[in-house]
Every structure is written in C-alpha cells, then in structure tokens.
Structure 1
Amino acid sequence: MDINYTPEELAFRNEVRAFLDEKLPKDIASKVKNSQHLGKEDTIRWQKILNEQGWMALHWPKEYGGTGWSPIQKHIFEEECAEYGAPTVLPFGVNMVAPVIIKFGTEEQKKTYLPSILNSDVWWCQGYSEPGAGSDLAGLKTKAVREGDHYVVNGQKTWTTLGQHADWIFCLVRTDPNAKKQEGISFLLIDMQTPGITVRPLITLDGEHEVNEVFFDDVKVPVENLVGEENKGWTCAKYLLTFERTGIAGVGQSKAALKHLKEVAAKVQQNGKPLIEDPLFRNRLADVEMELMALEMTNLRTVAAAQAGGVPGAESSFLKIMGTELRQEITDLFRRAAGPYAQPFLPETFEADYGGDMVGPDFANTVSAKYFNMRKLSIFGGSNEIQKNIIAKMILGL
C-alpha cells in the first residue's frame, strides 16, 4: 500500500477544503468544536447542504445518488470534515438502512425510501438491541406474526439513539420462533407513527436525552415493508454492522481531538509549567499519538483493500476496538487537563441558552459530559469483548 496520496487525491482534498470553507455554517462548526449540543435542525441543515453538493451518500452506488468516490476519497473527506468541525452525518438512514435497501430491497423499496433518505426528509432510527439481546443480538425476542397482508409486531427495543426524532425505524424481529437463533429473524421497516408504538426516554450519564426505549404493542406493518426474504434478516444485520463498526473507529475525529488536546495542554499551567511538559502526561499523550498513527495506517490499508475490490472482515472489528479505546483515552486526557473543572455538572449550569455563567477555561465546560458520553463507544455496535471473539474466530481459528 502506498501511504502517500496521489496528485489526484491531493487535488480532491483541496476541493473538499474549499467546499468546507465556503459551505460549512460557522455556528454549526463552533458547536461541534466546543462539544455543544447539536439540535435536529442543525443536523438536517448540514445534511441538506451536503446533498445539494452531491456529497451526502458516500457509500451508495452512483446510480442511486451516491458520490462514486473511491474508499481513499471517502477517507480524505471524513478526515477533513472532522478537522473543520463538520457534524458527523447521522448514520441510521444514509449509512445503515440505505445500503441494506440497495443490496437486499426491491426496486419499489428503493424508489420509495432512498430519495427521502438522501435529502434528509425522513429521520431514521435503529431497532436492534433489546433488554435481553445486546451483544447477543441473535437472542432478540421482539416478534412479528404474519396476518394476511401485514405483520403484527410485539416487543421492545432499547438504546434507540435519537428515536424521539425518528419518522421511521428499521427493526430486527423474530418471525420464526422455532428456528435457530439467527435463522428466524427478519428485517422490517416501520413507520414510527403507526398506532401501538411508544417511545420512552433514557437519560444518560451526561444528562442528555440521546437514547430511548421503544415499545411495540400489536403494531401492524405491511408485508411490503419486509427487506429481503422472511427469516433471512440476519444476513441484512451482518451486512449493516460492517458499515457501523468501521465508522465507529472515528480516525478523523480522533486526529482533530488530539490536535485540540495538544493546544489545550500547552496553555494549561501545572506547578508553573505547561501541562504538556509534565512527564506522565506527555507519556500518555505520546502513547495516544503512536496508537492513532498505527490505527490510521490500518484504516488506510483497509480502505485501500476495499478500493481493490476486497470486503472488510475482521479488520472492521480491529478498527472498532482500537478506535473506540483511543477516543475514550483522549477524553480522559482532556479531563486530566481540566483538573477540578472536569467535575460532573448539571448541563443547564453552563449552557448559554439557560443564562448560566461559564466556570473555568472554555474547553472544560463540556469535558465531563464528553467523557461520560464516550463510555458507550466500546459497547454499542457490538461490544469490544464481542469484537475480540470475532477476531479470534476469523483470524486465529479459535
């Protein structure tokens, strides 16, 4: 693999930078860089700007409105967006359910759902995890019984990210209770306005309403909302998770965060000297930087292999493990840099919208919330322990 960009790739990077300079709203970038809350309207506004440029669907084939970019171009784009403070594209529609519809859906489903996803007219959420089926996703119990031209769905999903905003949810449901765990599952698309659906908030440690419980009580879903074959939904699920796990690595976000951390550590004083001169802190910072360099090389090898026609396998698990642990370590170092100002707080205390007064350096105001929020990274998308099991089976043959 050539780790240097070609002249064409460097020209593409300049094009991306010019676009971000001109089109990325300054108020949104400021919120991202300062770890402030992004509202639904912020996310939709940025995604519509991307779609107007034709840069919304990085992973779609060009015939459906995708960019047609190579994996290396996608990597460059995501890295530059992180550097500029662009919001991460909400993945549930464009990066998760849409690739499944493109690969396994009918032509009618593609015509119905893809345009509204591309233009961010419909907000999607994910219905995978359940109270008794998280890392062991195949143990899900939400059932769908076919009655004529519709399914009747009963059960519960949990940790449904931003489900309070969602118009639609894609769900894994059990359609054959007598089959082996992975063989009796189907993939359904469900309108969140259907009678019988209840969304209840789960407030996380950082004080945010980010995740939810979703209950299904005799919810009727048209049969035409089935993606792929009945009882073959596990194939769709595995395909989707490959996209999710690779994206969680967040190399671009980690590089931008590390750059900011260095700037902060050069300003923060400890015993009359900049914190970055403290040997223990410098050692931890150096460890993160070396691990991040190795992660970036692994990520580039993976995308280069994909560009040559390969399909990510255990590599996506490697990226998920290392990427999430590094992002957690960086937030921990920010907490160390903030010192006593990193103590947990009530969010409204420091939000300008609530008339609160800032305490301590600006970067410290969101440190504890960011630290707590990042704890989830090593759990969702398949816990890191599960990823290690996948690596052991696929590579070591254990």
Structure 2
Amino acid sequence: MQAGDRVYLDHNATAPVRPEVAEAVARALLDLPGNPSSVHREGRAARAALENARAQVAALLGAAPARVTFTSGGTEGANAVLSGALRRQGAPAPTRLLVGASEHPCVLAGHRFAPEATELLPVDAEGVVDLAHLEARLAALAGESLLISLQAANNETGVLQPLGAVVALARRHGRALVHSDAVQAAGRIPLNFANSGLDAVTVSAHKLAGPKGVGAVALAADVTLDPVFVRGGGQEARLRGGTENLAGIVGAGVAAEIAGRDLAAEAARLTGLREAFEAAVLARAPEAVVAGAGAARLPNTVCLAVPGLEAATALIAFDLGGVAVSSGSACASGKVGRSAVLAAMGVPPALAACALRISFGWTSRESDRDRFLTVFDRLLATLYKRRERAA
C-alpha cells in the first residue's frame, strides 16, 4: 500500500482493508439497522447477513459453519480456548497445558493454567517444535487430561509448525486436545480444519485485509467450550454474549471469501516476491541472517538480521525513508525489545537485537521491494563506514 510516498511492508501486524471489504462494512452499517436477535424483518435481514459471513469464514477454514463463533479477535479466541473450558464431550477438562515456546503473547500470557500445570515445548534453531520432546512428554503424562497449543505459522518468522504430526502424537498418547493459533496462516496457506484432527483454531479478520476487532473460533464436532468469552445473552450459540459486531463480521466474511478465492495465486506471487527480496538482501549483505530460512514458511514473511545493524535504529531510518516495517510482533505497545520468538530459537541476543520483520501482502509490489532496498543500501553504507573507522 502506498499512502502518498510511503510503502507498507507490515501485513503481519495488520493488512490494509480491501476496498470490497470497506464497501461491505459501509453497506451493512447503512442497510442493516436490525439486531440479529430480533424477530422482525430488519432483525431477520441482519441474521441472514451474520450467518452468510459465518459460512464465508467457515469455508476459508474448512470448518462447519455451526461450529464457528465470532469474537473480537485472535486474542479473545485464544484466551477462551486456553481458559480450561475446552473439553471433549463426556471427558474431563484439561488439567495441563503444553504450549510452544515461540507462541504469540495471546497464548503465552493469555491462558489460565497455573504455572505448575504449564509446560513450554522447545523449538529448534529453525523455530520448529521438537517432536521428540513432545512425544516424550505425552508418554510421561499418559493418563492426564492435556491441551496442546501450537501456532500454525509464526507471526515473526513465518515458520510453519508440523500440526499433522502433532495431532498424530496427541492421538497416539491419550488423545490430548490440540488448539492452533491460525491467525497468520488463515488466508495465506490452505487450511482444512475438518480433516486436520485439530480440536480448535482461532483466527483474526484484520490479518486477512478485513476489519480490526473481529475474529473467530472454530471447534471440532466432538468438543465443547464453556461460555467464557463474554457472559450475557444467548448470542453465538450461547458461547459469547452481547450483540454481534454485525458490520465488522460482514466485512470479515467478505475478506475471508476473497482470501480463499485468491489463495493459490497470491501465495505463488508472494513467494516469488519474498524469494527475490531475500536474494537481493543477501547479495548486498552476505552476512545477513534470515530466521527460519531452512524451514517451511509463510509465502509473505521475512525475519532478517544484519549483524551490527540494530533494529531500533533501522526502524527509524526506514520510517523516515517512507517504508513501514517492524521488529517483530506488533503487540508490545510499540516497544522495540528482544524477541521471545528468536530467544526460543537460540538466536544470540546481539543478533536478535538486529532483527527486522518484513511482511508482504495483497498491496505489495516489486516497487515496494525496491523502495526498501534503497533505504537498506543507505543503512549498509553507514554500517560499513563505521566498521572501517573501527578497524
């Protein structure tokens, strides 16, 4: 996206809203005055729009519409699923949580399990969960009621987790529940929740070029979730009280439909853009490190570090140069600090302090990459001159 003379390369923080989505939201605000819970004509029209959006989101996820619950976003959904209220029908609630060490803060800080009932699952140097460790822990904890939470794709590095293997291990050792934060994956890689063996996934519309403040939880047919989201009326199958954000949900549905329609072509386009970008960066700075480069990754995400080029300084330079990038998750009140994700991967603190996240999306073009490289070249020139003076 270009606003004036600026380039936006921070789609993992939030994707610019598509014009079709904005139009759908505006129409819903103007044309759907009714409450979806009302029985009159206006209420029925609002209900129809709500259920149509639910079907659109369900189609993107490969889930049953009746098992999709709308939320205020990925954080609320993850908090609810990891509250201890998710359980298999007829089975006790989980008493222990196994969670990936490189998860998003909404998982690491948002669950309600006691510290002594929570275990971090280590990841390797590429950011992929250690399956041997997981299997050993599942075997040791046989007989306990467990919940595993693992991202589909990491928000900072784009690294994909082997969810199929995780589900297989869970079934082999006592059928632990498995939740996946699919906020970054939905609309960027194919998802088929119904066939995945997962018990719950959480997503957020604004990563799909939809409105902010809307998300969803999809549940498997044989699991239940106590109404812990927001207590009140009987909305959202009695799981989340309060009148639904109808205009936002309509926008989420349109965003999901477009993302699903364009997924294969867009993934191929963004993969090409990402690979060309990385090649150009490494040609200029051979010492640069791309986190997770040896693992399967999202098509759009690059986590890049040049030794000695600190992110705090680089971010200011890029911003002044009209390029929006980030240093990691955009959920830390704008602060630039050491990445917990890179720490879990064993990246040395000095190198982690140099990490930048560049995330492409539907607005990204080759000219955006070229604009980044123009600023990058200036930063490298300054860095190399500083090294020469210090030599």
TM-score (norm 1): 0.27
TM-score (norm 2): 0.27
Bigger RCO of structures 1 and 2 (CA < 8 A, at least 6 apart): 2
